Structure 1
Amino acid sequence: MARNGINKRELDKWARNVVKETNKSLERAQRRNPPRVSAQLDATAGAVPGGETTESSGYLARLLLWLDSSAKQNPSAYINVAPFVEELQLEEEDPTILALQLEQHGLVEILRAMGDTGTHVHLTDPGRVAVRQLKDLQKDRAARIRHTMDALLRWLFDTASDQTPVNPALFLATPGSYFAGTEISGTELHQALAYLTEHKLIEHIDTDPATVAITSRGVSCALSGGSVQDHINQPRPGTTYNNYMPNAKGVIMGEQQHFTQNNTDGVDPTLFAQLAGYIGQVSTTLGMSDADRVELERVAQDLHTEATSGNPEPGRLRQFATQLKDKLLEAGTTIAATMGVQMADQALAGLMQ
């Protein structure tokens, strides 16, 4: 039976329990069927050009890392791709096709000597750059969580779009459970489950073990072809943004029903005002010390004041939003902090347009 009206504390407890059960189920699944290792290309578009989303192309990022590791033992040699396919037990994958896909993107050079199978490759300079970009991308916490949410929702849609409950442990044995060549962690899965449930894209079902089901909103998001964040943040017809700010104790003081600005610099301060109001709502839930919380709220108040002034100054908006982002990153990886970081990124991106 689904539980409606779940509060954030219960949601967090539920998600953690799901992760625990997931880890147990995954260990059993791995013993029966070793998971296929991959990294979705759409999550590594900056490192691997092309943007294909087929399962075959999803292995290219992992293969690049494997080639880089092999090349360190013998930098000048051509490396056979076939052992990569054998090691991961990818019976349906053709190593020649994988090599051709990498060559198509200019990431490897294929040895075409007489009698060669076309599976021996050598990393090009762009290929080595792509490897470095992949390794950098692995450290991007926000990108990892966004990928987890997107991949988990797509998997639920493909697996049970009729809203049949599914054990989320099964997701961790799929290609989508890897990001830039690395496994999705239990913490990242926990955050994705909680976030998707909070925004009513999935619902948790009281079963043992716990299961989840995609909602009608989740189906709509999957069919849109965009990301979870795109779907959640898209403006709704007639939407009025309410901006909340706390007093010194973090208590919500009121709201602005209509937020408009008259400025001549082409700056839209709406996202910055929303960020400041969001901080006012969640500052007491971040687990920060009193001193850090007070400082966070002070910066949020400064941002709100600037954003709602007659002519907001882009430099000050950038300064305050960046300070808030840094403080949220220091606060940890809670859902509330992660959402704040994403809001800050979106607001700051608006200054670049």
Structure 2
Amino acid sequence: MSADFSALHEPLVEWIYDRTRADPLGGVSITEFGQSHGLTENQTYQLLQFCKGQRLLDDRHTTHDGPEANLTPRGLEWMEERRRRRADPAARAVAARRGLLVWLWHRKHEDVLLPAVADVLNDPLSLFEGERLTDRGIDRASAYLSAKGLIKGDRNASSDGPVQAEITAEGEDCVDNYQGDIGAYERRNTGGNTTIHIGQNTGNIAANSRDFTLNATTHSGVDLAQVVMAARALRQAVPILGLPEDDAAEVTQLATRMEEEATSTNPDPSRLQRWRNQAVAILSPVVSGALGSVLTTYLGVVLPVLPAGG
């Protein structure tokens, strides 16, 4: 039997995280995890090596008695960020809407007529950050998609949205051409200029323009007032950057964290640097045009690379 390590590595990291709360970087035997997923001992070792390749786990505690694993600092940070995303109601709502829409697209192409909306909860498309979405969340997603004209179907007295539904032509267009990203689908015909306010600087910025500039005052070290301005500018720009919906929600969350940290009693520059790096990592591969470039540059100006030990 072959093992799907790409599907099992995230559950393993979380399984270890849950069992090492008292000692986050301590080791734990993973034999039980392997057995519960039908893995041989050799496959369990291979899964651990796969996770090591992702730099999420290490095996420094492994002995001849069986495979043991511990979270790496990167793995611990990955889990903490995952739990934050999982607890974000806006991100969960986005995932529910997208998952339900794509699921109904598949049912339409399988010639399933008016499937029960709740059946999506039996599908991997109803997982968000490894956790199953709720009946209530799916009902709200159904109501939202129906209001947007992306699905249609039958309601009952106790539901907000259709309990049996099918995807509409508009919904199919959203999945076919925008991978179910409802925000991108709704922005498809949006044009014109958008005004972005950064501190005292105000300018008309076209989403795909090449002809504008943005000035930031810099000081040695980290200027927290500038960080706040950059975070607000980033959050304000998210709707016109054309990001996938999940990425847009994450960038918004990162910008909010940066602003809250910069205005806290004892700001931590390393946290600001980490969140800035995460935002840039999302923006850089997917955002084209001058606006995305200027925002990433601006973040680099107000949050320069910290010196070692800083």
Q: Which amino acid aligns with 2:78?
A: A
TM-score normalised per structure 1 = 0.47
Report the count of equivalent residues. Answer: 216
Question: 1:84 aligns to what?
Answer: 33
Write the mapping of 1:109-128 to structure 2, written as runs, cut at 5 A.
Answer: 109-110=58-59, 116=66, 119-128=67-76
1:105: Cα distance to partner? Answer: 1.1
Question: 2:276 aligns to what?
Answer: none
Question: 1:234 aligns to what?
Answer: 187
Q: Supply the distance in 2 between the matched residues of 1:146 and 1:156 (Cα, whole angstroms).
A: 16
1:64: Cα distance to partner? Answer: 2.0
The reply on whether 1:215 has 2:152 as its aligned counterpart is: no
Question: 1:197 aligns to what?
Answer: 146
Q: Supply the distance in 2 between the matched residues of 1:122 and 1:167 (Cα, whole angstroms).
A: 42
Quick check: 1:61–1:180 contact (8 Å CA) kept in 2? Answer: no
- The RMSD of aligned alpha carbons is 4.8
> Higher relative contact order by CA 8 Å / sep ≥ 6: 1 or 2?
1
Change (3 A) 1:85 1:115: closer
**Secondary structure in 2 matching 1:267:** strand
Q: Supply the distance in 2 between the matched residues of 1:78 and 1:171 (Cα, whole angstroms).
A: 34
Quick check: 2:48–2:69 contact (8 Å CA) kept in 1? Answer: yes
Q: Which amino acid aligns with 1:133?
A: E
1:214: Cα distance to partner? Answer: 1.9
**Secondary structure in 2 matching 1:146:** helix
Q: Supply the distance in 1 between the matched residues of 2:34 and 2:176 (Cα, whole angstroms).
A: 32
Question: 2:98 aligns to what?
Answer: 150
Write the mapping of 1:1-353 to structure 2, written as runs, cut at 5 A.
Answer: 57-72=6-21, 76-80=26-30, 82-87=31-36, 90-91=37-38, 95-96=44-45, 98-110=47-59, 116=66, 119-161=67-109, 162=111, 164-205=113-154, 210-224=163-177, 226-236=179-189, 266-268=203-205, 352=295
TM-score normalised per structure 2 = 0.52
Quick check: 2:11–2:130 contact (8 Å CA) kept in 1? Answer: yes
Structure 2: gaps (5+ residues): 208-224, 236-247, 256-282, 284-290, 297-310
1:108: Cα distance to partner? Answer: 0.5
Q: Supply the distance in 1 between the matched residues of 2:195 and 2:129 (Cα, whole angstroms).
A: 44
- In the TM superposition, what whole-angstrom CA distance separates every residue of 1:24-51 from its partner, at most 9, and x where no partner exists? xxxxxxxxxxxxxxxxxxxxxxxxxxxx
Structure 1: gaps (5+ residues): 1-54, 242-258, 271-314, 326-340
- Which of the pair is proportionally richer in strand? 2
Quick check: 2:150–2:171 contact (8 Å CA) kept in 1? Answer: yes
- In the TM superposition, what whole-angstrom CA distance separates every residue of 1:281-329 from its partner, at most 9, and x where no partner exists? xxxxxxxxxxxxxxxxxxxxxxxxxxxxxxxxxx9xx99xx7xx9xxxx
